[in-house]
Amino acid sequence: KDIEYIRSYYFNKKEDTRFSSSVGKFVGFTEQGVRNAADWNNNPSILSRAKAQKEVYCLNHVQIDYNNIL
């Protein structure tokens, strides 16, 4: 629904690379991050594993977290 899974990687306190489930791929923000993102996006196993994390972490726990908040 309106849930987005984001996984960020940092190096020297700067965001280097990010995976966003709404984009569906890795995005690099530094020179090294762009190279990492390109490598990870070209590897189908890494990309499919990252896409599956939305279901693992978000969709299975959203109802539990929502009920605890109320």
- State pLDDT tens for residues 20-34: 999 999 999 999 999
The answer to whether the pTM exceeds 0.85 is: no
Query: What percentage of the chain carries pLDDT values higher than 70?
Result: 93
How wide is the angle at C-alpha 2 spanned by C-alphas 5 and 43, nearest 5°?
35
Helix (H, G, I), strand (E, B) or coil at 18: strand
- The answer to whether the beta carbons of residues 26 and 41 sit under 8 Å apart is yes
Domains and CATH numbers, the chain: 6-68 (3.10.320.10)
The pLDDT confidence band at residue 55, using thresholds 50, 70 and 90, is confident
The pLDDT confidence band at residue 61, using thresholds 50, 70 and 90, is confident
Distance between CA 64 and CA 53 in Å, rounded?
17
**Helix 31-41 crosses helix 44-53 at what angle (to 10 degrees)?**
100
